[in-house]
A and B are shown apart, each in its own frame.
Chain A
Amino acid sequence: MFEFLGYEFMRNAFMAGALTSIICGTIGVYVVLKRIVFISGGIAHFSFGGIGFGYLINFNPMVTTLIFSLGAAVSIGLSKKKVNMQEDTTIGILWAIGMALGIVFVGLSKGYAIDLFSYLFGSILAVSRQDLYMMVTLCALIMITVTIFYKELLLVTFDEEYGNVLGAPTNGIYIMLLCLVALSIVVMIKVVGVILVIALLTIPASTSRLFSNNLKKMILFSILVGLVFTSGGLLISYYANLASGATIVIFSGVMFFITMMVKSVLDKRKRNRALNAMIQKQ
């Protein structure tokens, strides 16, 4: 049954899935609650330019992607206050330009590249040991930052305006949050790719929201849910011989809808029972 663990690439894939779950679980909760799903999409797509640039200058694309995604995060964060433009317009422009740059850079680079497809839709089975080291580092960085600035992130996510009243550096905290999103995206691109990143940021967090009434619980649940989704999806893709990233996403989506329906049925039952109890009392 567990013969797939005999392959190093499968062991690496599960490790990568686990790291991704920890990160998505944590950052995804903020993305969902702060409603920056679209912004995260913008950062992810802009970072595609970084992948192309890495190929062009023949440098580790994970590093150039990191630079591009952080650049996008900071400029979106700054444009909120400084530039007199709708935030979603800025994001739309970055989104498109990033993709275009990626394609042009790759076209300009010499020789045959490349598994562009794997960056768009992920290649969890191709995660190398070196990739894992980088993922662990980024993961640690993200978790430490979220722990230290828990109070600040809560303040900005829940009520940014009142944060200003309290004299908190809300703009800086917001940009920090976007940078955390950027870091997570870099980690996730290897696993599910630019296009499917949004799924992993939103689905585990929204599933976990159904069962948690405070932020810490929501993050914890969301990590657990992510673990189940990524490993489940990975197993299915292994046995059914399907594209792994896409399978993870579809599996997560299906599980989310099932959970939501079960939950709403349970809630209805609970309400009815309470109502009946009240009627019987009278």
Chain B
Amino acid sequence: MEENGDVAISIKDLWVSYGDHVVLKKIDLNVHEKDFIGIIGPNGGGKSTLLKAILGLIKPSRGSISIFGRPIREAKRYIGYVPQRKEIPRNFPITVFEVVRLGRYPRKGIGKRFDEDDNKASLQALERVNMLEYRDTEISNLSGGQQQRVFIARALVNDPKLLLLDEPNIGIDLTVQNDFYEMLKRFNERMTIIMISHDVTAISSYVKTVACLNKELHYHGTKAINKEDFEKVYNCPVELIAHGQPHWVLEEH
């Protein structure tokens, strides 16, 4: 495995279960700084749960997670998160700028007003996702892809060193998907990225390494996934998913 820089995330023997139902089983994972990992796996395989555990939103039943060598609580401000897209409340009177600025909440705390610094950071974040011109638009008037960019700006507004994205490509027009991934690639020069996605083709051309998750994690720090892992994860013949390719390699060939 190629070691590039310090460890961003270190997960040791992580188990998560809801009641009797085990969702994540014995996960061990080291993510290095400036990594760009794509996580694939079937629905219900625990992908979102893993991100939520990294964010500290879910308490593990066992095991530990440290981020940049610190416990999650102390490292939270270095993480930006883009949750799975959901219908935003229609008719909510809020501008793009306000949505992004709400992301500055952790720097303020209860009862304190946003100030010039927060405004500046919000505008910068919007610029980074090319949405500055829409700052005064009501968010419900934007297209799915544009909304997604706004939510990414909201995640960037605190200048994170680690960006977690949960299926960010859902609802984005195919024609602009490449721009979208190029943008992530640019961010990757400055930060570590973990992205959940169903879009295997996109993953193959933009991420640096791929992990498969179905309760258990299969990760070798490479882009190639061996057939056994893939079949174990998806429980079905690989060819079905791999567009008829006889072997499943995401490395360029």
Contacts and interface: CB of A to CB of B under 8 A. Distances in A.
A148 B111 contact: yes
A212 B99 CA distance: 17
Nearest to B79: A165
Contact of A214 (B55, B93, B106, B110): B93
Contact of B105 (A148, A166, A214): A166
Nearest to A169: B110
A270 interface: no
Interface residues of B, number: 26
B83 A165 contact: yes
A165 B93 contact: no
A26 B93 CA distance: 14
A218 B92 CA distance: 10
A158 B99 contact: yes
Interface residues of A, number: 27
B151 to A, nearest CB: 9
A259 to B, nearest CB: 15
B102 interface: yes
Contacts of B94: 154, 158, 214-215
Contacts of A35: 89
Interface string B88-105: 110111110011001101
Given A158-B99, A161-B83, A209 B106 contact: no
B159 interface: no
B208 interface: no
Nearest to A149: B111
B160 to A, nearest CB: 12
Contacts of A97: none
A167 B56 CA distance: 10
Contacts of A158: 89, 92, 94, 99, 102
Contact of A166 (B93, B98, B103): B103
B108 interface: yes
A159 B83 CA distance: 11
Contacts of B202: none
B90 to A, nearest CB: 11
Contacts of A280: none
B12 interface: no
A214 B95 contact: yes
Contact of A168 (B76, B99, B105, B154): B105
Interface of B: 55, 57, 76, 81, 83, 88-89, 91-95, 98-99, 102-103, 105-106, 108, 110-114, 138, 154
5 shortest interchain CB distances as A-B pairs: A166-B105, A213-B138, A218-B93, A214-B93, A213-B93
7 contacts: A33-B92, A151-B108, A161-B83, A165-B57, A165-B81, A213-B95, A214-B95
Interface of A: 33, 35, 148-149, 151-152, 154-155, 157-159, 161-169, 209, 212-215, 217-218
Given A162-B154, A167-B106, 6 more contacts: A149-B111, A164-B57, A165-B57, A165-B81, A209-B93, A215-B93
